[in-house]
Structure formats: structure tokens, C-alpha cells
A and B are shown apart, each in its own frame.
Chain A
Amino acid sequence: MPEAWPPGLLLAVGAVLIGLLRGSARTTVVLIFPLLALWAVWQVPDGVADTAEFLGQVIEPVEGSPVRRLFATIFALMAFAGGLFSFRQAPWQELAAATLYAAAALGVCFAGDLISLFIWWEVMAIGSTVVVWCGDRPASRAAGLRYAVMHVIGGALLMAGIAAHAVATGSVDIVPMLASSPANWMILAGLLVNVAAPPVSAWLADAYPESSSTGAVFLSAYTTKAAVLALILLFPGEPVLRAVGTYMIFYGIVYALLENDARRILAYSIVNQVGFMVCAIGIGSQVAINGAAAHAFAHIIYKALLFMSAGVVVYRTGLQKCTDLGGLFRTMPLTAACGIIGALSISGFPLTSGFTTKTLISEAARGDGLVMLYFLLAAASAGVFLHAGIKFPWFVFFQKDSGLRPNDAPWNMAAAMLLFSFLCLFIGVYPQPLYALLPYPVDYDPYTPGNVLFYLQLLLFAGLAFFLMLPLMKRTLTITLDIDWFWRVALARLGAWALGALDAVASATGRMGRSRGGLLAGWARRHFGEDGAFSRSWPIGTTALWMALLLSGYVLIHYL
């Protein structure tokens, strides 16, 4: 019997049970297993708890440390609140996939080596893809597929990097490194795909808003924050991360300002908030790492709360475009109030969790004398209030009277929102328990009068800017093109153009009988054209079968 129950494995058992059980037994599993996992998280001792041999490498499936425990704690809490929010509304497939997804995130938290990390990383990708697909619309199936492809590419980068790193150093241990070799660069790139760093930031706002009203709550929490933890463990103080994080911060603000879809606004603001954390990891000092960890903890709570609030609106109305919504505060006061608490928290308003955690990151930039970054972070804090803090609640719950009079949240959704609203305010008013869990000792008091006044001025005048510029913010039925245009449109056009060119060659040479060109075009059309083997959409089962065949073939050859 191992020294500690691996929390990830424990919750994964729960995910399987959700599929096997029915009715109240299933509900019990959805709600109890995250709490069991939370208990298990706190049983994991510091240091390596267990080792095994795999592929000739020593792997450490369970390794504890304060920062790992901090992330695991909020992941388990999130699984509980997400389960509470969705158990009466979500189909069992989504509940099982979301629980597996959470389990994998817990696995990542305690992975002591790169191989264990990679395995849980891929399980996370599978679980989350299924959650996106549970959105159960044509748009969610397409977005889920794009999401899966992006994460397969990220996973391949990570795997290649790990393999090269293992060959070069002879170790797969998780230790701080810098992006100093091609192997480390590939590992870093694989991790950065999951935090939605440039140039692939678009996958997040593409996929999450297409999930179900309950699915997005889970999605908002795990993929990006597990990657933040991995960056803390592997690349603390990597200077490249400062530039990457700063880009993400402003990308999120600008795209959210232009966005009409309420849940896509929230998705862009995930990129923005994770940008703060990535920046902090790039600074790398003890205060900065504390800031990244604390902010991730608080962020999971208020972002899930925001997605819950938006989720109730989607659940009750089936609508999520700002142009269709408005005036919902009349009949959804609780959902509106909880949404506003989440919005104030994400903006870092004093007395909310964003204030006591995000200001740690500014404090770190100041402590290291990074003047430019300090002012950029301050401007971004104002921008967060603008694009998420006011924009989201304003356009969904106030703005104009859309004529919609939906009922407020069902009791379980309301309970989950109230729980997380309470935590947002609790961490805001009394941050000491959270500070005590941080990896390094905290010597910081956010509530000095000068600091509070600074942020009040910054945020309230950002609010003034919002309402003065409201005519410029008028919502339109538009989307904003992103870098993913290059693979969603340009690449497809290039393919069509290449086929057309082949066609032209074929018809020009066709008169001379079955020429080379004609053969080529015919071959291309057979395989890549409509209904060709390479352009058909394959059912997942067939794909899995092929992958299994390939893998078994590989293993067979390996042993011969």
C-alpha cells in the first residue's frame, strides 16, 4: 500500500463510477469524490512519496510540496463546486468527463517527473475535449475538434521536448530549468500551448464558449492553471515569460472589448488573467511566485463564478450574445449579484480576492525595479475592470431591456455560486489563511490606506472611462479575426488553390491521354478531395482503433 492515496487516481475512480452508477448514487459520487480527493491532497507528504520504474526511467507519480498542494486544493474544491453547479443539469457523460479532467489536473499537480506529468497532461486533454463536445451543437463539435488538434500538437511538442531532455540529461525529474536548449524550448512551447500563449491564444476563446452552460465552468479552471503550475515548477524566472505574459494581458483586454458573445468575453479574460500569472513566473522572485500561485487560486474561484453566472443565463435563456441580452437583473437578482461579485473580484477591487492576490504581482514587479512592467500591470488592472469587471455584468444584466424575464438560478446552481461568492469575499477580507499556504513566507499587507486609495482611483476612473465611452462600445453582431485565421481559412484556401492548379494541369494535359499531371490530380482528388480518405471526418472510434493498431505495431516491432 502506497504511503499516500494519489489524489488524481482517486478522483479518476470517481469519474469511472459516475459512468457506472445511476440516480442518487451517481450524485453522491459527483459530490463526495472531490471532497475525498481534497482529503487525499492533504495527506500527501512533502517530497517524493512513491517511485516506480517505467521505460528505463525512475518515475515519481506522487510528489508533494506546498505549491503543488495549493493548486491541488483549489482543483479539488473546484471539482466539488462544479459538480454542485451541474449535477442536476449536465448529462452524465459531461459529469464523468469533467471529473476525469479534474482528476488529471490533480495528477499533474503531484507529478514528480516529466513522464507522469505528460500522461496526466494528455488525460486532461481528452477529458476537456469531451467536455467541449458535450456542448452538443454543431459548433461545439467543430470547436472541440479544433481544440483537440491544438492540444495534440501541444502534447507532441511536450513529448518531443521531454524525450530530448531525457536523452541529454539522463533524467526526467521535474527541476527548474531555463529555455536554454532546443529540448527545453520544446517543453516550454508545449506548456505555453496550454496557457493559450501567442500565437495560439485563439483556441481558448474558440472552444470554451461553445461548451454547455455547465461545461465551461470546469474548462475555465483546469487546463490553463495546471500549465501555470507546470511553468512555476519548470521555468521560474524564465525571462521570455515576461514578454509572453504581457502580450496575453493586453490581447485579452483588446479582444474582450471587441467581443459580443458574453462567454467569449469571459474566455478572453482568462487569457488576460493567466497573462498576469505568466508574467509573474517570468519575474521569478519569491514574491512573484507567491503572487502567481495566490492569483491562480483566487482566479479559479472568481472565473468559475463568472462562468457560473453566465452559465445560468445560457441555461435559462439559451442566449449568450450581448446584443440579445440585457436587463436580466429584474428577474435574476441572485445570478446578477453573484456575477457582479465575480466581476469585482477579477478587477481586483478592494475587499475582493483579486485585490489581495493580484497586487502581490505588482508588488513583485516593483520589488525588482521593473518600472515599465509595473506601469503596464497597473494599466492592465484598469483594463480588466473595463473589459470584464463592468462590461460583462453591464451588457448581460443591465444595458437595455431585452424583454427577457427568465427565472433565477435553480437551487444547486445558486448554492455553488453562493459558495464561490463567499470565498471571493473571504479571501478579499481575510487573505491570511491563503497567504499561509503560499510556497514562500509573505511579508505584504495589501490594506495599507495608500495602496487601497491607489487602486480605488485607478479602478473608479476606469469605470468613468467605460461609461463616457459607452457609445464606442455599442455591441455589433461581429467576431474579431485572430491568428487562427491562418489555419482555419488561409490553409484551407491554399489547399483548394493547389487542387485547382492540379486540375488545370490535368485538363491541359488530359487531351494527350493519361498524362502524369492527370494521374497526379486524380490521385490527389481521390485522397484529399471531398470524401477522400484524408478529408473525411472519421468517427472517434475509428481514429482510436487506428491509433491502437499503430501503437501495437510499434510495440511488436520494438520487441522483435
Chain B
Amino acid sequence: MANLRNGEVNRYRDGGDHWLVRPSTIRRLWAGFLVVLALTVLAEAVVPIKSYFGIGGWPGFAAAFGFLSCVLMVLLAKALGALLKRKDDYYDA
């Protein structure tokens, strides 16, 4: 491949078959991720999380809180987007 100059883009394709994007790799990544997730919750049996304010001490609280607040924020963003999204040349038109 010839050296690219500034800002020049080489659009040749190499089949896109990088090992990282193969379905088998992605399946393995998901499996590994789920195992790690489970471990972080199970670890609470050994490493107690100090509870500062009541519910903070429930097992798996941080996991549930992190997950649910993200779902909520994405839904909030979607709702706001439905109202406020415009084509990206809106201000140029």
C-alpha cells in the first residue's frame, strides 16, 4: 500500500474479515463480558460494598442502579430527540 498523504483516504477493502469482527469472536466477547458482569455481583459476598444511604447496601445495587439509570437516560434522550431532532443541514438551509 502506497503511503497516504494528509487527509487522503484509501477506500480499498480487505474483505472486512478482521479476527475481531468475526461472529465467533463476538460471541466469545459477549460470553466473557457476561461472566465478568456476574463475577462483579458475586464478588460482593467476599468484598462488601459500604452502604452510605439505606438502599446503597442491597446486594447488586450498583449494578442495577447503573443499568437502570442508563436505560432511563437513553429513553429520555430518545423522547427529547423525537421532539428536537432536525436534519443536520437545518441551520444551513
Q: Which residues of A line the B interface, CB within 8 A?
A: 89, 250, 253-255, 257-258, 260-261, 315-318, 321, 327, 329-330, 366, 371, 374-375, 378-379, 382-383, 386, 401, 403-407, 448-451, 453-466, 469, 472-473, 476-482, 488-489
Tell me whether A406 and B10 are in contact (CB under 8 A). yes
Instruction: Select one of B18, B67, B84, B88 contacting A462, CB under 8 A.
Output: B67
Q: For residues 30 through 89 of chain B, which have their beta carbon under 8 Å from a beta carbon of chain A? A: 33, 36-37, 40-41, 43-44, 47-50, 52-53, 60, 62-67, 69-71, 73-74, 76-78, 80-81, 84-88
Query: What CA separation (Å) do A247 and B43 show in the bound complex?
Result: 34
Q: In this complex, what residue of B is CB-closest to A329? A: B20
A378 contact set on B, CB distance < 8 A: 62, 65-66, 69
Tell me whether B63 and A254 are in contact (CB under 8 A). no
B40 smallest CB distance to A (angstroms): 5
A397 smallest CB distance to B (angstroms): 11
Tell me whether B40 and A460 are in contact (CB under 8 A). yes
Tell me whether A374 and B70 are in contact (CB under 8 A). no
Query: What CA separation (Å) do A89 and B7 show in the bound complex?
Result: 11
Tell me whether A258 and B77 are in contact (CB under 8 A). yes
Query: What CA separation (Å) do A480 and B77 show in the bound complex?
Result: 10
Query: What CA separation (Å) do A454 and B66 show in the bound complex?
Result: 10
B85 contact set on A, CB distance < 8 A: 258, 476, 478-481
Instruction: Select one of A374, A450, A479 contacting B47, CB under 8 A.
Output: A450
Instruction: Select one of B7, B10, B64, B70 contacting A383, CB under 8 A.
Output: B70
Query: What CA separation (Å) do A375 and B52 show in the bound complex?
Result: 11
B11 contact set on A, CB distance < 8 A: 403-405
Tell me whether B74 and A386 are in contact (CB under 8 A). yes
A479 contact set on B, CB distance < 8 A: 85-88, 90-91
A484 smallest CB distance to B (angstroms): 10
Interface flag for B22 (CB, 8 Å): no
B49 contact set on A, CB distance < 8 A: 450-451, 453-454
Q: In this complex, what residue of B is CB-closest to A213? A: B7
A458 contact set on B, CB distance < 8 A: 62-63, 65-66
A318 contact set on B, CB distance < 8 A: 7, 9
A330 contact set on B, CB distance < 8 A: 14, 18
B71 smallest CB distance to A (angstroms): 6
Tell me whether B48 and A450 are in contact (CB under 8 A). yes
Instruction: Select one of B10, B70, B78, B90 contacting A465, CB under 8 A.
Output: B70
Tell me whether A472 and B40 are in contact (CB under 8 A). no
Tell me whether A456 and B40 are in contact (CB under 8 A). yes
B16 contact set on A, CB distance < 8 A: 327, 401
A456 contact set on B, CB distance < 8 A: 40
B47 smallest CB distance to A (angstroms): 4
Query: What CA separation (Å) do A191 and B13 show in the bound complex?
Result: 50
| A-B complex: 7 closest residue pairs judged by Cβ atoms | A465-B70, A379-B69, A457-B62, A458-B66, A257-B77, A382-B66, A461-B67
Query: What CA separation (Å) do A321 and B12 show in the bound complex?
Result: 20
Interface centre among A315, A462, A469 (most CB of B within 10 A): A462
Tell me whether A317 and B40 are in contact (CB under 8 A). no
B20 contact set on A, CB distance < 8 A: 329
Tell me whether A449 and B47 are in contact (CB under 8 A). yes
B65 smallest CB distance to A (angstroms): 6
Query: What CA separation (Å) do A492 and B51 show in the bound complex?
Result: 54
Tell me whether B70 and A405 are in contact (CB under 8 A). no
Interface flag for B24 (CB, 8 Å): no
Instruction: Select one of B9, B52, B73, B88 contacting A386, CB under 8 A.
Output: B73
A459 contact set on B, CB distance < 8 A: 66
Can you add 13 more A-B contacts, CB < 8 Å, to A254-B76, A458-B66, A469-B70? A250-B73, A254-B73, A315-B6, A371-B53, A378-B65, A405-B1, A453-B47, A455-B62, A462-B66, A478-B81, A480-B81, A480-B84, A482-B84
Q: In this complex, what residue of B is CB-closest to A89? A: B6
A258 contact set on B, CB distance < 8 A: 77, 80-81, 84-85
Query: What CA separation (Å) do A375 and B55 show in the bound complex?
Result: 11
Instruction: Select one of A255, A469, A489 contacting B74, CB under 8 A.
Output: A469
